[in-house]
Amino acid sequence: MFSLKNKVAIITGGGSGIGKAICKVFAQQGSTVCIVDFDETTGKTTQDEIQADGGLATFYKCDVSNQQQVAAVVKNIITDHKQINILINNAGVAQVGNVENTSEADMDRLYSINIKGVYNWMQSIIPILKDGGGGSIVNMASVASSVGISDRFAYSMTKAAVVGMTLSVAKDYIHQNIRCNCISPGRVHTPFVDGFISKNYPGQETEMFEKLSKTQPIGRMGQPTEIAYLALYLCADEAAFVTGCDYPIDGGFIKLNN
């Protein structure tokens, strides 16, 4: 069940956090994993850990906001592995601020990675999926695309765009056997979250971690592997009837925070 054997999967932002967990789970299920990350150190570490466990993984350095780099990496992946079956658009960045204190530079940075990066990869991969008879795309959105979160103006904007792109692609390519869904995690405990808290709340790390954990009605943050298992389902043949959906995985954040 949920086998990815003989499938080649691309995971952007695969060097750490949720992306790394997806890489490892997919490799365990038999997929050839293409780890895409801007950070060469973390990307190669993920590759080495998967290979040490007997999995198949190759690291590719790429700036997802650079369309030429994305196209070049896709070409290299096809040369190396002959096919592509799965794309996970996981790479992303966050920013704290409301509309007044979000700078133009902040907006441009989040747009270029969180929106343009998703567009770049889907534009490059979809022709390959069409030629190969179909495939699965999963884009990483956020609960911030569904509910108002204080001081997340630019981030919420980008994640709402991810949901919109997901629905559009699902509609446009449904008859080419390309399924496109997105996942909207609540707060997940990753190195990114630890760094975010340290940067924005110095000296209050423990207090803020507990506060952010308790915003989920379930009383804790999610674990990266919990998100990875949902991604696995959406990319497996068992989910062949699922497309055009946004899946919250948030400890009750959206529906139960009354």
The Cα-based distances of 168 to 163, 196, 209, 237, 245 in angstroms read 9, 32, 36, 22, 11
Q: What is the pLDDT of residue 179?
A: 98
E strand residue ranges, 75-208: 86-89, 135-140, 178-185
Q: What pLDDT is attached to residue 156?
A: 97
d(CA 100, CA 138): 32
For residue 201, count other CB atoms closer than 10 A to its CB. Answer: 16
- pLDDT of 97 above 90: yes
Angle (CA) 230-251-219 rounded to 5° is: 140
Instruction: Give the pLDDT mean for 214-223.
Output: 94
How far is 157 from 99, CA to CA, in rounded Å? Answer: 11
How high is the mean pLDDT of the chain? 96
pLDDT surpasses 70 at 248:
yes
Q: What is the pLDDT of residues 24-48, one digit of tens each?
A: 999 999 999 999 999 999 999 999 9
Q: Decide if pLDDT at 218 tops 80.
A: yes
Confirm whether 155 is a catalytic residue: yes
pLDDT at 191: 87
CATH class of 8-186+226-249: alpha beta
Q: Where in the chain is the domain with CATH 3.40.50.720?
A: 8-186+226-249
What residues contact 123, with CB distance under 8 A and at least 6 apart?
A: 67
* pLDDT exceeds cutoff 80 at 258: no
DSSP state of 222: B
| Catalytic residue (one of 60, 119, 155, 247) | 155
Query: Which pTM was predicted?
Result: 0.96
Instruction: With cut-offs at 50, 70 and 90, classify the pLDDT of residue 199.
Output: confident
Matching residue, tokens 């979160």 = 149
